[in-house]
A and B are shown apart, each in its own frame.
Chain A
């Protein structure tokens, strides 16, 4: 929201410098967004406060905070004569769900001319170019009060009517700025007969625009379905001062106030006669009442604030105090405060006007609650530590990819329109970056999720020899026995007992961390007992192309006294025919008498795998 300081001073006598004013605004919720230029404040405004779409709304809060008097603008406060049948513009709402209120007045015999200097200057400071006195007044009141208004030349209308209906596919409007906008049935228009002249709440048309020859006008102010405004304006890619306001929760009552304020100015600056035309307002909003308990202020703010001070703040913010007892006040919420929905919102008003920075700061001083961190969180952190310890780098990559099982229906770019099904696809490009830096030997990993029919937690590792990285990781996690079972060409599944916990190929491996967690047990790695190990070598001759994994698994799991088995190497050579190879395996036992086990093992291997044992 832009606030020219001179304009602000219309409503409050404030002596502070623009920077000091900006600081006060910032404290109460209107953050100074940009450096102050030419005595205009540019304040950031979130979506909640519809009354902050007008300078008077901002001024009201500032006056409360600074404890200054607010000078409200002057309104036309008479009851206008009802327009004659002859001059009436017939307002009909054909399609519901779009307009909540539509307030219109007719002015006859106005003089359209240039605006006086003060008006031109203020609009200029705000950033709206001056057109003529009538158009300028509608803009001025919009900036002042946050409610949009629109004037049309009734003599330019094809029929004396305003029909509010859905747009029809193929219809077009030339806007005030001369742009041709195509309309479809997703937006609402104001039309005469078949001719749409205004896109409701968004932009006016040139056809009925007020110009130097205009004598008779209809002034309207509407309250629209804000989400409809948002959808339509986005679709048509129109963003302007009207849209900025009409897509917020404005109160229907603001329309009448805005028209009365504009009437006051039109009569002053353009003359003519004002006549009441119509007030479409099917569902009337009743004023909202609410109770504010003093105890609640203390419960949220942590300190007692004097009740007199609270009431003073509320009244300055234009809450009407209806009842007032020792521990509570009943208030009527001002119509423009569409953001107030619970008692705590009023508490918020009290606290921010008191100034958050004046509150003492405290440390949580009750006993900490039960620890509820999920085990998997800590476990994945352990995996991180292990992989880093053995020299791998952790990376985090963007899970949004061009294609996957879970597709996004409204992604802005095709490149990021689905969720990954493997981390490999997003981590590999990082490996390429390492290559470019000449660091191709570095191993990488990521702990994250893949997205199949649901989210699955995995650790993905890329390393020079994935088998060693896997062995080291599992060893560190205390997992001693696992199998690598051939799944397809160049890929094996990683199994513990019969459960698959991941898969491995020549570039790296994937582990499902939730499955893995159940097997991790590290306490047995620490011992104070010296157990005598007996090791012996076993040399086996097998077919040259046969994978050794199954044989290895057999050996490792053959007897409980076999505690480890290591493949020392593979040999081919003159002693062995070309269809075979020799594999040397070192077996560790935790007992010294190994003869029987060894004998039975060899027998078993011969039987199951047809192996030849070489002495």
Chain B
């Protein structure tokens, strides 16, 4: 078929075609008209080949382009009204607690901390013993423990991870860790038997309370902005000595006292201290050579504050969805 006629037939077909795929096959498919023409070149003389080949190939491109153009035309004219804002495709969300954990991890990783982990089903030794809490010590009263058969227990804090890291690694150590903890409490809007802790530990030569206070100050600036004001006071925790309680000036009343801060002017934010001499010793670290600090924070409270959730139960037991 002369090429000019071929072009004309194609254009006619293109104009009336409703099935562009079929049209493509008719001309450009394996058995297509144009494909056949191209294949037949083999049998022709070199001169004819030279003459026809560029023309056929040009035609092939043209057909292909024209089919595509028509396809685009069809696509674009499908009555889309661009003035109507569309509904979004759903995107997933991380749990608020994961979001806060990641934020905190980001801070501590910047300061050279690794992330550590440990089991939730723990031994007395790691949950209490190595943390300077001998059996029957009144401080075990601070946290009512859930026990399982066979003498093991559910960790009451993530400090058990501290005991494990200090036992398994030699200084210098810098780790942060978060996780699920359990205590034998009745569920209320602020306390549940299941909750989260976030902790950090550093052990090295020459670490003093000044480093502890320094990193906690940076940490709170990172979380709450540069205006935060911290207050350090003595507080007893069995796994540290000296112990430091840390308060942040209430941002609602700027320290004057309101219902949010229970009229204290300050909000308790975390517990910390220098790792107890006996804890280091029990974990196989020479407390004369190395010193270290540890701190722990109730993670759920920070999550609730950040996301405006007033009942811890809603955070984990349903009652909260992401739209």
- A48, A377, A434: which has the most chain B beta carbons within 10 Å? A48
A394 engages B92 (CB within 8 Å) = yes
B139 engages A48 (CB within 8 Å) = yes
Interface residues in A473-490 (C-beta closer than 8 Å to B): none
User: How large, as a class, is the contact surface on chain B?
Assistant: 35 or more
A387 engages B209 (CB within 8 Å) = no
- Is A576 part of the binding interface, using a Cβ–Cβ cutoff of 8 Å? no
Chain A residue numbers with a CB within 8 Å of B207 are 364
A299 to B95, CA, bound (A): 42
B138 engages A348 (CB within 8 Å) = no
A28 engages B234 (CB within 8 Å) = yes
**Contacts A360-B210, A437-B321: A373 and B116 contacting too (C-beta < 8 A)?**
yes
A345 to B97, CA, bound (A): 36
Partner of A429, one of B136, B141, B318: B318
A416 engages B319 (CB within 8 Å) = no
Partner of A372, one of B169, B238, B262, B278: B169
A410 to B291, CA, bound (A): 37
Interface residues in A267-300 (C-beta closer than 8 Å to B): 299-300
Chain A residue numbers with a CB within 8 Å of B175 are 372
CB closest residue in chain B, given A360 = B210
**Contacts A374-B117, A408-B148: A344 and B242 contacting too (C-beta < 8 A)?**
yes
B213 engages A249 (CB within 8 Å) = no
- Is A439 part of the binding interface, using a Cβ–Cβ cutoff of 8 Å? yes
A409 engages B147 (CB within 8 Å) = yes
**Contacts A394-B95, A394-B98: A411 and B146 contacting too (C-beta < 8 A)?**
yes
Task: Tell which of A31-39, A75-83, A145-153 binds the partner.
Answer: A31-39
A396 engages B97 (CB within 8 Å) = yes
Chain A residue numbers with a CB within 8 Å of B113 are 368
- Is A568 part of the binding interface, using a Cβ–Cβ cutoff of 8 Å? no
- Is B251 part of the binding interface, using a Cβ–Cβ cutoff of 8 Å? no
Chain A residue numbers with a CB within 8 Å of B115 are 373-374, 377
- A254 CB to closest chain B CB (Å) equals 16
Interface residues as binary, A403-433 with B (CB distance below 8 Å gives 1, 0 otherwise): 0001111111100100100000000011011
Chain A residue numbers with a CB within 8 Å of B244 are 356
- Is A247 part of the binding interface, using a Cβ–Cβ cutoff of 8 Å? yes
A196 to B41, CA, bound (A): 120
Chain B residue numbers with a CB within 8 Å of A27 are 233-234
- B310 CB to closest chain A CB (Å) equals 17
B93 engages A400 (CB within 8 Å) = no
Chain B residue numbers with a CB within 8 Å of A409 are 147-149
Chain B residue numbers with a CB within 8 Å of A165 are none
Interface residues in A359-397 (C-beta closer than 8 Å to B): 359-364, 366-374, 376-377, 381, 384, 387-397
B202 engages A398 (CB within 8 Å) = no
**Contacts A356-B232, A357-B232, A455-B121: A363 and B211 contacting too (C-beta < 8 A)?**
yes
Chain A residue numbers with a CB within 8 Å of B307 are none
- Is A351 part of the binding interface, using a Cβ–Cβ cutoff of 8 Å? yes
Chain B residue numbers with a CB within 8 Å of A357 are 231-232
Task: Tell which of B14-22, B69-77, B185-193 binds the partner.
Answer: B185-193
- Is B9 part of the binding interface, using a Cβ–Cβ cutoff of 8 Å? no
A47 engages B234 (CB within 8 Å) = no
A412 engages B193 (CB within 8 Å) = yes
Interface residues as binary, B173-198 with A (CB distance below 8 Å gives 1, 0 otherwise): 11100001010111100001110000
* Tally of A-B Cβ pairs under 8 angstroms: 247
Chain A residue numbers with a CB within 8 Å of B249 are none
- Is A451 part of the binding interface, using a Cβ–Cβ cutoff of 8 Å? yes
Chain A residue numbers with a CB within 8 Å of B217 are 361
Interface residues as binary, B290-323 with A (CB distance below 8 Å gives 1, 0 otherwise): 0100000000000000000000000111111111
Chain A residue numbers with a CB within 8 Å of B278 are 341-342
Chain A residue numbers with a CB within 8 Å of B111 are 364, 368
B193 engages A400 (CB within 8 Å) = yes
Chain A residue numbers with a CB within 8 Å of B320 are 433
- Is A230 part of the binding interface, using a Cβ–Cβ cutoff of 8 Å? yes
Chain A residue numbers with a CB within 8 Å of B174 are 364, 368-369
B194 engages A399 (CB within 8 Å) = yes
Chain A residue numbers with a CB within 8 Å of B68 are none
Chain A residue numbers with a CB within 8 Å of B97 are 396
A377 to B215, CA, bound (A): 24
Chain A residue numbers with a CB within 8 Å of B204 are 364, 366, 369
- Is A337 part of the binding interface, using a Cβ–Cβ cutoff of 8 Å? no
A48 to B241, CA, bound (A): 12
Interface residues in A108-129 (C-beta closer than 8 Å to B): none
Interface residues in A434-458 (C-beta closer than 8 Å to B): 434, 437, 439, 441-443, 448-449, 451, 454-455
A46 to B205, CA, bound (A): 30
B210 engages A397 (CB within 8 Å) = no
A406 engages B148 (CB within 8 Å) = yes
- Is A347 part of the binding interface, using a Cβ–Cβ cutoff of 8 Å? yes
- Is B206 part of the binding interface, using a Cβ–Cβ cutoff of 8 Å? yes
- Is A550 part of the binding interface, using a Cβ–Cβ cutoff of 8 Å? no
A27 to B186, CA, bound (A): 32
Interface residues in A8-50 (C-beta closer than 8 Å to B): 26-29, 31-32, 34-35, 46-49
A396 engages B98 (CB within 8 Å) = yes
**Contacts A356-B209, A391-B92: A368 and B112 contacting too (C-beta < 8 A)?**
yes
A374 to B169, CA, bound (A): 13
Partner of B276, one of A344, A367, A432: A344
Partner of B206, one of A366, A368, A416: A366
A48 engages B92 (CB within 8 Å) = no
- Is A248 part of the binding interface, using a Cβ–Cβ cutoff of 8 Å? yes
CB closest residue in chain B, given A343 = B277
**Contacts A372-B116, A396-B97: A29 and B321 contacting too (C-beta < 8 A)?**
no
Partner of B114, one of A230, A372, A437: A372
A1 to B113, CA, bound (A): 39
**Contacts A343-B277, A396-B97: A366 and B89 contacting too (C-beta < 8 A)?**
no
A239 to B118, CA, bound (A): 36
A369 engages B184 (CB within 8 Å) = no
Chain B residue numbers with a CB within 8 Å of A553 are none
Partner of A391, one of B89, B114, B182, B316: B89
B116 engages A48 (CB within 8 Å) = no
- Is B129 part of the binding interface, using a Cβ–Cβ cutoff of 8 Å? no
**Contacts A249-B138, A348-B243: A362 and B211 contacting too (C-beta < 8 A)?**
yes
A397 to B195, CA, bound (A): 10
A409 to B117, CA, bound (A): 25
- Is B225 part of the binding interface, using a Cβ–Cβ cutoff of 8 Å? no
Chain B residue numbers with a CB within 8 Å of A301 are 208-210
A429 to B314, CA, bound (A): 12
Chain A residue numbers with a CB within 8 Å of B49 are none
Chain B residue numbers with a CB within 8 Å of A410 are 145-147, 184
- Is A227 part of the binding interface, using a Cβ–Cβ cutoff of 8 Å? yes
- Is A533 part of the binding interface, using a Cβ–Cβ cutoff of 8 Å? no
B186 engages A413 (CB within 8 Å) = yes
CB closest residue in chain A, given B204 = A366
Chain A residue numbers with a CB within 8 Å of B171 are 369
- Known pairs A226-B136, A364-B215. 16 more at Cβ < 8 A? A31-B245, A300-B291, A339-B236, A347-B241, A352-B242, A357-B231, A359-B210, A369-B112, A398-B193, A398-B316, A399-B194, A400-B194, A406-B148, A407-B149, A412-B186, A442-B90
User: Chain B residues in contact with chain A, CB under 8 A?
Assistant: 89-95, 97-98, 102, 111-117, 119-121, 136, 138-139, 141-142, 145-149, 154, 169, 171-175, 180, 182, 184-187, 192-194, 202, 204-211, 213-215, 217-218, 231-238, 241-245, 257, 262-264, 268, 274, 276-278, 291, 315-323
The 5 closest A-B pairs by CB, nearest first: A368-B112, A302-B208, A348-B242, A388-B92, A29-B234
Q: List 11 A-B contacts (CB under 8 A).
A: A47-B139, A230-B141, A248-B138, A344-B241, A357-B232, A359-B213, A392-B92, A394-B94, A396-B97, A399-B194, A410-B184
User: Chain A residues in contact with chain B, CB under 8 A?
Assistant: 26-29, 31-32, 34-35, 46-49, 226-227, 230, 247-249, 299-303, 339, 341-345, 347-348, 351-352, 356-357, 359-364, 366-374, 376-377, 381, 384, 387-400, 406-413, 416, 419, 429-430, 432-434, 437, 439, 441-443, 448-449, 451, 454-455
